[in-house]
Amino acid sequence: MEKKSIFSAIQATGKLTLGNYLGAIHNWVKLQDEFACTYAIADLHTLTVRNNPETIRQNIMDLLAVLLAAGVDPNKATIFIQSHVAAHSQMAWVLNCYTYMGELSRMTQFKDKSAKHADNINAGLFTYPVLMAGDILLYKADLVPVGEDQRQHIEITRDIAERFNKLYGETFVIPEPYILGVGARVMGLQNPTSKMSKSSTIPNDSIYLTDTKDEIVKKIKKAVTDSEGIVRYDVENKPGISNLISIYGAIQNKTKEEVEKEFENANYGSFKNAVAEAVVGVIEPLQQKYQEIIKDTTYMEKVYREGAKKAEVIANETMREVYEKIGLVL
């Protein structure tokens, strides 16, 4: 049987968090053996927020180096930079014409981001989910591995694809969100009722993949808990401890119940030590590999050039099919 296909992408916005790692990168590595995986560095998506050109270029290379350091293997998965495959922009335009203002207005990420960047609510911020839908639909992906926060964007992708298929006949595969396990929703350490985010302004709230061991240990020690003193998963009443259980479980490949059992008799101090050790255990080796890879610009260029070549074959074929169906002259 043919392998199911997977597409996913991460924005190259600089600081990656432990949430990005456990919600996405960690799973990308696991999935590449079993599925036909295409992974993109979403550089076009980052243009919705202003940044200087040098920083943008650096962020793209940084993300590629992190992915390779984490174990994404270009011999198993296709890995490329979104803007290198022109079909992403072409598809986004076409799909814009099959997406309604009303449905885009309901996107929670748009509402959040426009509140945060009130001085720059550009049209790109609004149509961002359409570019994302195009990314996925170009590769006819069956599954899209993402964290919980991206679920709504996969739902709109499905709606757009179904609408198009109804009008023009079977064209797109309707993708399923593939939201894996306990790491799918890593919350802030200080504010465990909202997701751990790259742009958090609360000190010690997010763990970054660039943090030192001391910073990680300090942040986890300071993470908010509760007064019950029992390592028990209960998101409503114990969001802080529940989040630490999720983080530990995602790293150690354990369920919530297994983590509760392991720390049945532990106090919060020793539990936090174990969580910190687990987090440092993944981040430190990743940083060491990253340092080697980021220097090897020849290797990185080879990876992204070859990746784009492979991606382009599939993307261009879908693009032609779409142009033909909607009535453009080929």
Q: How far is the CB of 189 from ligand TYM (least distance, A)?
A: 11
Instruction: Please identify, using beta-carbon distances, which residue of 142 and 269 lies nearer to ligand TYM.
Output: 142
The residues, ordered by sequence, that sit 6+ positions from 149 with a Cβ below 8 Å of its Cβ are 23, 109, 185, 195
Cα dihedral value 321, 324, 329, 330, nearest 10: 20
Give min distance, CB of 281 to ligand TYM, in A.
Answer: 19
Half-sphere exposure (CA, 13 Å, Cβ side) for 301?
4
Q: Output the CA–CA distances (angstroms, integers) from residue 262 to 131, 182, 256, in the order listed.
A: 44, 16, 10
Q: Rounded to the nearest whole angstrom, what is the least distance from the CB of residue 132 to ligand TYM in the complex?
A: 4
For the record, the structure tokens of 46 come out as: 């980052």
- Give catalytic status of residue 302 as yes or no: no
Angstrom distance (rounded) from CA 320 to CA 316: 6
Strand order in the sheet with 5-11: 78-81, 36-42, 5-11, 143-145, 176-178
CA-CA distance, 270 to 52, in Å (whole number)? 43
Q: Which residue is nearest to ligand TYM (CB)?
A: 23
Residues that bind ligand TYM (CB under 6 A): 7-11, 19-20, 22-24, 42, 45, 132, 135-136, 144, 146-147, 149-150, 184-186, 195-196
SS3 call for 49: coil
Is residue 143 a contact partner of residue 173, using CB atoms and an 8 Å limit? no
Query: Closest separation between CB of residue 3 and ligand TYM, Å?
Result: 18
**Least distance to ligand TYM from the beta carbon of 197, Å?**
6
Whether residue 3 lies in the annotated active site: no
Q: How far is the CB of 82 from ligand TYM (least distance, A)?
A: 7
**Is 42 or 72 the residue whose CB approaches ligand TYM more closely?**
42
Beta bridge partners of 322: none
Tell me whether residue 106 or residue 261 sits nearer to ligand TYM (CB atom).
106
Rg (Cα) of the chain, in Å, rounded? 20
Of 4, 15, 76, 198, which one is the catalytic site residue?
198
Nearer to ligand TYM, 153 or 272 (CB): 153
CB 62 within 8 A of CB 14: yes
Quickly count: other Cβ atoms within 10 Å of residue 328's Cβ: 10
Nearer to ligand TYM, 4 or 266 (CB): 4
- C-alpha 233/C-alpha 5 separation (Å) is 34
Among 113, 140, 219, 238, which one carries the catalytic annotation?
113
| Minimum CB distance to ligand TYM smaller for 230 or for 235 | 235
131 residue type, one letter: L
Please give the positions annotated as active site: 113, 195, 198
